[in-house]
Chains A and B, each alone.
Chain A
């Protein structure tokens, strides 16, 4: 049996696909099942919680970026809806 996704740290609000996950697929998390809204290619991320605009995206238990719009549970997370927080932090040296 194959794992469809991996959640690397318990603090994470996103999961990483371990295979191409088709649109409308049902994904079983530990406590509930969620629906995937877009096709998620292998290696790409999807939200496992509702994420507000300007919330942090957490992977590895650390901040990997900031949401530029509301991201719903099961939605694809990528460059179209998050931005680097590092570039903001280091802008002024």
Chain B
């Protein structure tokens, strides 16, 4: 049988590896109402955040696109948006944004429900029970990997990440791409030092410029403030750990993206415009990156972590892979794939990448990640443009 996975077909042609109902708050004021609804429905997850009121510019649009993007992810069957009624991020506008994905969506404001939050929670529960019933009628079907978008993340990195976990994730990313799928590498500040190498992998000159320009602009802006980042990398700690040059350090990071040609560069929360490997411009804070990848439509994320990190995502499973033997012991319940056996057990990058590939397929077919088993699924970070 050809390589593939069993996923949930969606009416817009995408394929989910989960079949969730999301309950989204349009503003911080109704977060508790949203959680009270979501916690009573097995298949539902709350999407809450501290924003939605008095926001302007990129701060507003990133919040709107994160919430809309998460609810539109292929892993979601349908959505309920709950607002308060006086905020500037309107629940009805957010519901319309989600409707573009052709999913069932409903919305209401707490201020419009007679009976206050008691009745608002009951109303929300009624809507979600209906969505849940419909969702349960959808069955998994076989799809090839051209229907999969994989997000690549690293966080809590240490000296093992660049020489074990990251290169083997690169092997798996290349495999997804070679099977017709899509892969996204975020965290553009970690490309610094490799832009001359990355741009050589661009499919054309225009894409090469899209890689080089934001890094050049970023370096110029920081130099105006008297900081030459290139001169500060690698740090004294990195050098003590064995990293000799800035490009060596950055190559360790971007090793996650394998060797595939780069098809294009997308903005935070933006969907890739085609298959293959894409780069996402965003600042590289773990939870903000993972949330941005899920909002861009990634159905699954692989995250390397040397020191260990527990968080998950409301809609997208996050597979954790670790190359540090001590972390794999201390945080065993938070790690899905133990890559430290490259160091301790004479395993090769090839051996562990086969284990990771099998884990990726299992998670696509429904097996839970450690974060899912622990119920770590309300972790959301929204990049609010802090002067990159």
Contact = CB atoms under 8 A, between A and B. Distances in A.
A5 to B, nearest CB: 10
A87 B230 contact: yes
A63 B193 CA distance: 11
The prevalent SS among residues of B at the interface is helix
A84 B247 contact: yes
A77 B193 contact: no
Contacts of A42: 159, 242
Contacts of A93: 216
Given A63-B197, A86-B193, A8 B167 contact: yes
B244 interface: yes
A82 B346 contact: no
B242 A44 contact: yes
A84 B246 contact: yes
A63 to B, nearest CB: 7
Interface residues of A, number: 35
A86 B245 contact: yes
Interface string B158-177: 01000110010000000000
Nearest to A66: B245
B296 to A, nearest CB: 26
B239 interface: yes
Contact of B251 (A6, A19, A64): A64
B247 A43 contact: no
Contacts of A59: 248, 251
Contacts of A8: 163, 167, 255, 349
Interface in B330-388: 342-347, 349
A35 interface: no
B346 A61 contact: no
Nearest to B196: A89
A1 B347 CA distance: 9
B164 A2 contact: no
A63 B167 CA distance: 16
A93 B230 CA distance: 13
Interface string A26-53: 0000000000000001111100000000
The prevalent SS among residues of A at the interface is loop
A62 B197 contact: yes
A62 B247 CA distance: 9
Contact of B167 (A17, A60, A78): A60
A48 B255 CA distance: 21
B156 to A, nearest CB: 17
A30 B194 CA distance: 30
Contacts of A83: 245
A82 B246 CA distance: 12
A1 B246 contact: no
B259 interface: yes
Nearest to A45: B242
A1 B236 CA distance: 32
Nearest to B254: A60
B245 A82 contact: yes
A89 B230 CA distance: 12
A63 B200 CA distance: 13
B242 A78 contact: yes
Contact of B248 (A18, A61, A64, A89): A64
Given A2-B343, A42-B159, A65-B247, 7 more contacts: A43-B159, A60-B167, A62-B251, A64-B248, A65-B244, A84-B193, A86-B245
Interface of A: 1-3, 6, 8-9, 16-19, 41-45, 57, 59-65, 77-79, 82-87, 89-90, 93
12 contacts: A3-B346, A6-B163, A8-B163, A41-B242, A43-B159, A59-B251, A61-B259, A62-B247, A64-B245, A78-B239, A79-B239, A85-B245
